[in-house]
Structure 1
Amino acid sequence: MTGFTVRDGRLWRDGERFVAVGVDYHPSGAGCRIWTDWDPAAIERDLREIADAGFSAVRFFVFWRDFEPEPGRLLPEALARLRHTVECAASAGLACVVSLFTIWMNGQLLDPAWRRGRSLFLDADMLTRQEEFAAAVGRELRGTTALLAIDLGDEIGNVSPDPAPSAADVAAWHHRLAAVLRRELPGVLVTQANDVSGVLGQSVFGPANSAALDMISVHGFPTWSPGSIESTAAYKATSLAPFLVRFAAAYGVPFVDELGAYGVDEEVAAHYLRAAAASSLANGAAGVLAWCWQDIASVVEPYSRHPSERFVGLRHLDGTAKPALTALRKVAGAARELSDVRRGRARIALYVPERTRAGGASYLDPEPGTLATFYAHLLLKRAHLDADIVSGDLDGYRLVVCPSATMLTMTDLERLRRHLDSGGFLFCSMGDRLHGFPGEDIAGARLVDFSLLPDGKTGFRWGADAWPVDWDAGRAPAVTVRTTTGTCLGRFGDGTPALVLNEVGEGRVLFCAAPFERQLDRPGRLTSGNAEHLYRRVAELAGIPADVDCADPDVEIVPDGTDRPRRAVVINHGTAPARVDLVWRAGRQHVRVPVSVGAKDWCVVDRPATAG
């Protein structure tokens, strides 16, 4: 039995709360040839130094070709080296994540020659070979005490794109291999690490397709993310990984097993890691692992093709620390404090419809809608409104946000209707007039027509507030609606309804006839206006003010999730130091607490006793 379990969305070790903060690891000299250019003394030294730096976890990679050079011929010495590395980690006090079927690495396939392009997920012989290899690794690692989790395969969706597996194929692959590992290693945690396409793209590898896994691993690299992230230093960049955490939490226990910055100087990398790692833990990640421990001296594959991959370590080639190492050590030193703040349940749900990521199987299907979820999450954060991302039933939430909906199924509509019948408030914006319109009975309005000439609809007003609308960025034509049972609260420039308030059952709906969230997907657009003020007004209409607030939208506030929050993590995602007054609401009493937090830095703030 391993000593690690997941419970209540958290990671435990031998019955005690455990927060994994550490690094991804290749030996600097050997790089990806760790198992063939075997240097146990270097590995032992590195693992001790990782632990001495204050970290609790390490992740390394099993390159399948080095363990099974021919089908069915497993190398005992390679398996023994793997066990020795896990035992060395245990001796150093480190928990291990072992990435099992490592073929894709740094943009290159390090493939067993005998695979010959056969699908890992569809070819019967390849499935058998994987089962046998997983069983052999499981038997080899029996009795080790440091095994945090087995990662089935690092970004393995990049290995066999043709023919592409279906979601059902991937789910079956997860079930099949997880069963083998649990048989050989009773109690072992199983995960699978995926890039951002598993959330913001159409990949079938991702949180929504991870039912067989114990943890859901995500990678936070703004360089390769959609969503008009302006730079590594941008607000959206350091907000990406915590969004992925919240999204994964809708389906299971989130774990960030790769986090880092490419193509930037050392200070920018440190600032990125400091803010993104702290925010990820505060938002519910069971652990955070930085890419990677040290710059790589090796110049063979994959570094011969991608030399820039050699210089993203926390330490230089000579072992001296980069600023990012200091940044991560600060996070590691406060890991429990950061992680323990996020608990309980929010009053607001950011709803993910069941076919949000289905994508264009035919001309009838709209584009995936998770970019709208990303922007809605950012708007809620900028308005300091705490929200859970929810993919299922909405029972118990007071406000539900359904942003720029592109595909609402009958299941989705039934969930929204139940929420309204129970007296809840719904804000629903429309991303596709055919499949994302919630219906006249919910919207309180009727579709009239679309137009590719958006004159008169390039913005809308609600009282004294106004917001622009970029229909091209929203990937939708302008739409005209007319009210039926609803009341028009906001109008486009041409006078037609943009915001319609409708009563449904015991609840209320505010329907927005524009893809408000998705149209923010242009560089600079999110942070240059007052887009988050629309969400503030929606929350006020629903009777849900921010529990802990401040005037700076770049400052994220993560309250402890109780009815009267006593503690909050404050993360400055801005590029300049922030001086703000935190406003704690306790009944009718408001208490202001001045807080100073550096650029891309964070702190933990307690509510003063005078706040009740």
Structure 2
Amino acid sequence: MLESGTFTLGCNYWASHAGIYMWRNWQADVIKADFARLAELGLEHLRIFPLWPAFQPLSIYYGGGNTPRELVWKDGKPLPEDGSTVDPVMLERLRFVCDCAHENGMQVVIALVTGWMSGRLFAPPAFETCNLHTNPRVIYYQTRLIKEIINALKEHPAVAMWESGNETNCMAASNRDEFRLWINVINDAIRIADPTRPIPAGMHGLQPSTDGDLRFDSKIHTIDLGRCCDFLTTHPYPLFTSFASTDALSSYKSVFHAVAENSFFGDIGGKPCFAEEAGTLSNVIGGEKTAAKYLDRMLKNLFFHDHRGLYWWCAFDQDKLDFPPYTWCAVERELGLFNGDMTLKPVAKTIRDFAKFRKQLPQVKLPPPDKQATVILTTQQDAWASAFGAFLLASQAHFTPQFRFAGQTLPDNSLYIVPSVNTIEGIPPGVFQELMQRAKAGATVFVSADSALFSPFTQAFGLESIGWENASGCSTVCFEGEEFPINRQTRFLLQPTTANMLASDEVGNPVFTEMKYGKGKVYFFALPLEKHVAKVSHATDLGYWKVYSRIANGIIDRAPMQLNHAPQVTMTIRPITPDEVFVTLQNNGEEKASLPKPKWKTVQIWPKNADMKNLEPGDWRVIHCKK
């Protein structure tokens, strides 16, 4: 999975008969049948959860004054004389699960400290009242659990990866320093026990930052996980991610949620990223046919953007289970691939059909996508809203962005985007200076503003401020013959000095301007464009993307194919050499799109004999082009 061009299809697994209690309510024949069914779908990985209290059954006996007296084994017996802390019966059951995977041509990812699952905390009785990230005794026994499981199974061919657990950031209330110390101790214990297998993060909800910024202390930080994990992961459920459920489940915006979040985490964290849990959570959010359509488009977009895999949540429905967490919340019941009679749901057929899709592709690993623009996120802004909006706009304008956080080294690119800058901090001086130097040398710089202050301003943008109003409302932008609204917190009252006005608001106030700067250009947009696109329903149906098309016209002009009037079609460019590329196309809209003839010579098309004039909704193409 670490290699570019690879993609692994997987599923999160709890046994069909018992869910989280599969280890204590053990039915080997059911599990064997489960694995056979899952293998028939073409799944390659199953993510397995050794429930912590089942595997490490530790309790405490208390003495006078409710003081701890003795740590005991299951059933109140003394701790094993050999020093082991993991129930050998459970280890053999986990080995059986690995055997079933191997027999069916699959591998497993084992979430070692499964202390959090579906909204419920699970810990051995001895630790139920402890902070599971900071208590020294707890951490000691967590590392014992890890070592004993790994030592028992590290020679097993079915084990693909180990990870700390499932969403371990949810196991306790801890600050940044406490959590990153904990995750480093846990991952180091894994690496000591088995240095040969990669470690994914196993969690989501990350915050971009720098090492030196001591604010946002309660957040789980992207760079911290990037340094101690081999993969970053997303769990891109639309309901649980801000702004990802503003549009219907199968909409352009929704099917790009996973791709955008993977890019957001992976680029800033500096590690490959994959969607480790993905699902609809409820038939209310999307029925079975809609869920299948959503999964189909999400899978192909992840693949075409070189994100390394997707694991569906989850294998089987849990609607017949009468214990928490399944009785606590309606989102934990009907998430499986199979109906009650074990017939396939439409999402299972989509997973099975993905294998057919891959057989239609070029039988070589596609090179990494050319990320032609850099999006720079700044402090004191809603980083996810700005990133999500920028990614959507870039995709509709037919170029692929990469993300950096202010202070990280900037790659060489022809376009730099600083989206929806907020507060008095504005753009850090060093970053601002570097961007202006790159513009002077020939790059394009685009800055959009929320309620931000900038220094310098007039010199940087060719604009004179005649006022700044702290007046929330909605501005109507007039650009290229189309009007579209953008919500604002403040209004910039501007007068061009050396800049040209490209768009104005409803009262004629400049909103979008362009200024030559040395050999390059600097664009300014006086409204939080990206934040608005992320937060507002159906924004991808309007012409907001035209702003990004304008600032990226140099990138677009150099592309081997131009799709100027098809924002619902996503394109990635995968360079083989400077004069030879693969172009991928995916129609994420609801209408047929007309395809122009590529500017470069077409060598080959996939699927073979495909129509190169039209692209039906949900359809795709891979084109091998040469100059």
Structure 2 residue 364 is the aligned partner of structure 1 residue 368: no
TM-score (norm 1): 0.85
Task: Give the partner amino acid of 1:237.
Answer: S
1:352 pairs, out of 361, 371, 376, with 376
When residues 257 and 470 of structure 1 are mapped into structure 2, their CA distance, relative to the original with a 3 A threshold, is same
**Using the alignment, how far apart are the partners of 1:86 and 1:521 within structure 2?**
42
Q: Per-residue deviation at 1:424?
A: 1.1
Structure 2 residue 173 is the aligned partner of structure 1 residue 151: no
Q: What residue number does 1:282 align with?
A: 304
Structure 2 residue 138 is the aligned partner of structure 1 residue 109: no
**Using the alignment, how far apart are the partners of 1:283 and 1:317 within structure 2?**
35
Structure 2 residue 39 is the aligned partner of structure 1 residue 51: yes
Q: What residue number does 1:127 align with?
A: 139
**Using the alignment, how far apart are the partners of 2:543 and 2:118 within structure 1?**
39
Q: Which moved more, 1:495-504 or 1:306-315?
A: 495-504
**Using the alignment, how far apart are the partners of 2:522 and 2:347 within structure 1?**
46
1:298 pairs, out of 301, 316, 321, with 321
Q: Per-residue deviation at 1:398?
A: 0.9
Q: Per-residue deviation at 1:267?
A: 0.4
Q: Percent identity?
A: 20
Q: CA RMSD in A?
A: 3.1
Q: What residue number does 1:424 align with?
A: 443
Q: Which moved more, 1:551-560 or 1:59-68?
A: 551-560
When residues 335 and 409 of structure 1 are mapped into structure 2, their CA distance, relative to the original with a 3 A threshold, is farther
Q: What residue number does 1:343 align with?
A: 367
Gaps of 5+ in 1: 11-17, 356-365
1:449 pairs, out of 452, 467, 474, with 467
**Using the alignment, how far apart are the partners of 2:378 and 2:531 within structure 1?**
18
When residues 401 and 206 of structure 1 are mapped into structure 2, their CA distance, relative to the original with a 3 A threshold, is same
Structure 2 residue 242 is the aligned partner of structure 1 residue 226: yes
**Using the alignment, how far apart are the partners of 1:145 and 1:207 within structure 2?**
31
When residues 48 and 588 of structure 1 are mapped into structure 2, their CA distance, relative to the original with a 3 A threshold, is closer
Does the CA-based 8 Å contact 1:199-1:244 persist in structure 2? no
**Using the alignment, how far apart are the partners of 1:560 and 1:403 within structure 2?**
26
Give the secondary structure class of the aligned counterpart of 1:222.
Answer: coil
Q: What residue number does 1:459 align with?
A: 476
When residues 253 and 553 of structure 1 are mapped into structure 2, their CA distance, relative to the original with a 3 A threshold, is same
**Using the alignment, how far apart are the partners of 1:58 and 1:368 within structure 2?**
34
- What aligned pairs does 1:206-217 form with structure 2 within 5 A after superposition? 207-210=222-225, 211-217=227-233
Task: Give the partner amino acid of 2:48.
Answer: F
Does the CA-based 8 Å contact 2:370-2:572 persist in structure 1? no
Structure 2 residue 477 is the aligned partner of structure 1 residue 477: no
Query: Of the two, which has the highest radius of gyration?
Result: 2
- What aligned pairs does 1:261-340 form with structure 2 within 5 A after superposition? 261-264=280-283, 265-296=287-318, 297-306=320-329, 308-335=331-358, 337=361
**Using the alignment, how far apart are the partners of 1:571 and 1:129 within structure 2?**
49
When residues 95 and 422 of structure 1 are mapped into structure 2, their CA distance, relative to the original with a 3 A threshold, is farther
Give the secondary structure class of the aligned counterpart of 2:220.
Answer: coil
Q: Per-residue deviation at 1:146?
A: 2.2
Structure 2 residue 48 is the aligned partner of structure 1 residue 32: no
Q: Per-residue deviation at 1:240?
A: 0.5
Does the CA-based 8 Å contact 1:408-1:438 persist in structure 2? no
Give the secondary structure class of the aligned counterpart of 2:147.
Answer: helix
Q: What residue number does 1:85 align with?
A: 97
Size of the aligned set, in residue pairs, is 574
Q: What residue number does 1:359 align with?
A: none
When residues 561 and 531 of structure 1 are mapped into structure 2, their CA distance, relative to the original with a 3 A threshold, is farther
Q: What residue number does 1:520 align with?
A: 533
CA displacement, residues 243-279 of structure 1 (integer Å, 9 cap, x when unaligned):
1222233021111111111323210111111111121
Does the CA-based 8 Å contact 1:292-1:314 persist in structure 2? yes
Give the secondary structure class of the aligned counterpart of 2:235.
Answer: strand
Q: Per-residue deviation at 1:421?
A: 4.4
**Using the alignment, how far apart are the partners of 2:442 and 2:165 within structure 1?**
45
Does the CA-based 8 Å contact 1:445-1:485 persist in structure 2? yes
Give the secondary structure class of the aligned counterpart of 1:6.
Answer: coil
Q: Per-residue deviation at 1:440?
A: 4.1
Give the secondary structure class of the aligned counterpart of 1:193.
Answer: coil
**Using the alignment, how far apart are the partners of 2:388 and 2:362 within structure 1?**
22
TM-score (norm 2): 0.83
Q: What residue number does 2:178 align with?
A: 169
Task: Give the partner amino acid of 2:399.
Answer: L
When residues 170 and 485 of structure 1 are mapped into structure 2, their CA distance, relative to the original with a 3 A threshold, is farther
1:205 pairs, out of 220, 228, 232, with 220
When residues 199 and 222 of structure 1 are mapped into structure 2, their CA distance, relative to the original with a 3 A threshold, is farther
Does the CA-based 8 Å contact 1:64-1:112 persist in structure 2? yes
2:521 pairs, out of 504, 508, 527, with 508
Give the secondary structure class of the aligned counterpart of 1:267.
Answer: helix
Q: Which moved more, 1:289-298 or 1:335-344?
A: 335-344
2:552 pairs, out of 504, 514, 539, with 539
Give the secondary structure class of the aligned counterpart of 1:468.
Answer: strand
Q: Per-residue deviation at 1:101?
A: 1.9
CA displacement, residues 545-585 of structure 1 (integer Å, 9 cap, x when unaligned):
554343332222233245456433333323x3524214423
Structure 2 residue 583 is the aligned partner of structure 1 residue 568: yes
CA displacement, residues 145-186 of structure 1 (integer Å, 9 cap, x when unaligned):
22222221222222223xx321x3333223221111111112
